Amino acid sequence: MKFMAHSITRNKKPVKPATAASWQNCLDTRLLPILGDMKIFAIDSETLRLLVAELYKKQGQTAKSVNTYVALAKQVITSATDERGNLIIRAPWNHKHIDLPPIENQRAPDFSAETISSIVEHAEGPHKVFFALLATTGMRAGELLGLELQHVSSDCKTIYVRQSSWQGQLQSPKSKAVRDIELCDEMAEVLRAYVATRNRGLLFSTRSGRPISQSNLLRRVLHPILKQVGIEPAGYHAFRRFRATLLRESSGPEEIIKFWLGHSGGSDVTDRYSKLAERVALRVKKAGDRPWIYNGTYGT
């Protein structure tokens, strides 16, 4: 499909493989079976209303999924161009007519400090350090699994996020995700002990040195631990929510929180002018403010 090919190869903000795979799955399983035989210029607000009815009422898709599918359909439709690159459709969508279902009570699990301590307590070997780093840095799992030793400072007090891992392949992260994350002294000491004398390769890897599968780690390690400690299954984002909440509880500057988590800054003019997140000394200080610390032993 022309839309997918351009999204992946364009110069400005090309879509990452994980997003491309998700989009392709949405197209193949949900959108093309319903809209695939229609001419692009024939798809209007009424068509999307019928799409919503099919997905939400007949197929029983969740409100969030339906909103995601319709948003993707709009992207595909409005991206259509003629041979000279001119847009074919400038759709003035009637959102009231389309009648998307509201997203309510969306499940967004997070962990408490006690839960994370239990996770680290029940984890074994490198997994202890992995889960502790997720909690103390707020990194995405793919970023941590793609972290090489060359991207850790010699004193282990700073992590340089420069790539991520997806389906066993290393790739560059989103532009806003390229950042430096300072660690509190206690976590830096744990990381130094874990790194020991190694100076190359991935921080966490398979025995053959390959990137670890996120899904395998989730299914074979994290979920069994959560079941063991009596917590409902949750994904890696629960660690990021914990970190974001902890930083806000300690009155961390919002600009630094966004920087550490790799989120885009706000559109406010003040946000664009402020350089607070570039002040390394302040980030170092905030990294040590009320950090979560695992009080047990790592044994690595």
Q: What is the CATH number of the domain that holds 170?
A: 1.10.443.10
pTM: 0.79
- Structure tokens, 146: 């793609």
Handedness of CA 6, 8, 14, 18 (dihedral sign): positive
Do 44 and 126 reside in the same domain of the chain? no
Give bridge partners of residue 202 from the DSSP assignment: 148
Angle between helix axes 237-249 and 254-261 (nearest 10 degrees) is 160
**pLDDT tens digit at each of 300 positions of the chain:** 788 998 988 888 888 888 888 999 999 999 999 998 998 888 999 999 999 999 999 999 999 999 999 999 999 998 888 888 888 877 789 999 999 999 887 777 889 999 999 999 999 999 999 999 999 999 999 999 999 999 999 999 999 999 999 888 898 877 678 999 999 999 999 999 999 989 899 999 999 999 999 999 999 999 999 999 999 999 999 999 999 988 888 877 888 888 888 886 555 555 665 667 778 888 888 888 877 888 888 875
User: What's residue 289's pLDDT?
Assistant: 80
Residue 296 lies in a domain: no
- At 270 the pLDDT is 55
H helix intervals, 16-152: 17-26, 32-35, 45-52, 63-78, 95-98, 113-122, 126-137, 141-145
Q: Which helix (H) or strand (E) holds 160?
A: strand 158-161
- Establish if 14 belongs to a structural domain: yes
For the chain, the distance separating the N- and C-terminal CA atoms, rounded to the nearest angstrom, is 49
Q: Note the pLDDT of residue 286.
A: 83
Residue 176: per-residue pLDDT = 72
Token couple for 6: 């351009």
Scored b (16 or more CB within 10 A) or e, 60-73 reads ebebebbbbbbebb
**Distance between CA atoms of residues 170 and 163, nearest Å:** 7
Q: 175 and 75 share a domain?
A: no
Residue 241 CB coordination number (10 Å):
16
269 lies in the same domain as 197: yes
Domain count, the chain: 2
* Residue 274 shares a structural domain with residue 171: yes
Does any domain span residue 213?
yes
Rounded CA gap, 66 and 100, in Å?
A: 8
